[in-house]
Amino acid sequence: MAGLIRMKGGVGRPVLIALIAIAVVAALGYAYASPYIALDRLKRAADSRDVETVNEYVDYAALRGSLKQQVTGLLTRRLNVQHNGNPLAAIGAMIGVALIGPLVDAYATPDGVAALLNGMPPRGEPGERPPPPPAAPVDNATGTSAGNAQPTPAPGSGAANASSKTPPQPPQTTAGYRGINEFVVSYQHGVGDTRYSAIFHRDGLFMWKLSAVDLNG
């Protein structure tokens, strides 16, 4: 009887160790994949304007600060290029400063997040806003709206100038870790085009939040 008990205990210990090892490997695998999962969930929620889910995956305070810094840098670089002794540069600078607040307010929203994750970053244009949610097309047979429409291109995004018959092409996207607590998604529409990045930061062990952008790529 004692031998039987010892045998059962001997069998149970390796099984327990194996189960613990499997659990650890699964946890590590999920931890590694967690920013990719967060990106997928956030993009789906932003595209459908699921505000509650978007709010879970965005640190709006950090994103606003980053947008303000990046747009200020964008306008400063533009003014420096256009200056060349131009006496109107000071007026341009004042106009640029006036644009920053409204633009940041417009992009630190679910609409702005959707634009950022679909290759339409802010460009510092006057009156620029992210595209609104796609309008549902009207069903000719019933006169009611259906649920499949192409998103409206953002003003000044380049897509707005394209032919209405040719839908804008999705950007080339790359994603990966840039440190244990930072995950970067980079976008580029074509060779030679301007790159920009959406930056996620770890929030706990498995949670990630969009918290910054890099308009320099």
- What whole-number distance in Å separates Cα of residue 178 and Cα of residue 200? 10
Q: What's the farthest any 2 CA atoms get from each other in the chain?
A: 100
Residue 27: predicted pLDDT = 86
CB contact at 8 A, 196 and 173: no
Mean pLDDT (the chain) is 78
- What whole-number distance in Å separates Cα of residue 197 and Cα of residue 188? 9
Residue 148: predicted pLDDT = 43
Residue 99: predicted pLDDT = 78
Residue 51: predicted pLDDT = 96
Q: Give me the mean pLDDT over the 188-217 stretch.
A: 88
* φ, ψ for residue 77, nearest 5 deg: -65, -40
Q: Is 187 helix (H, G, I), strand (E, B) or coil?
A: strand
> For the segment 139-150, what is each residue's pLDDT rounded down to a tens digit?
444 444 444 444
CB contact at 8 A, 199 and 214: yes
Q: Give me the mean pLDDT over the 11-18 stretch.
A: 82
Instruction: Check residues 132 and 4 and name the one with the higher pLDDT.
Output: 132
pTM of structure: 0.73
- What whole-number distance in Å separates Cα of residue 215 and Cα of residue 194? 8
Take residue 100 and report the two structure tokens written for it: 């920053």
CB atoms within 10 A of CB 163: 6
Residue 137: predicted pLDDT = 45
Take residue 83 and report the two structure tokens written for it: 């200056």
Max mean pLDDT among 7-11, 46-50, 91-95 falls in 46-50
* φ, ψ for residue 26, nearest 5 deg: -65, -40
Mark out the alpha helices in 108-174 (DSSP H runs). Answer: 110-116
Residue 115: predicted pLDDT = 95
> For the segment 152-175, what is each residue's pLDDT rounded down to a tens digit?
444 444 444 444 455 556 788 999
Residue 78 reports pLDDT greater than 90 = no
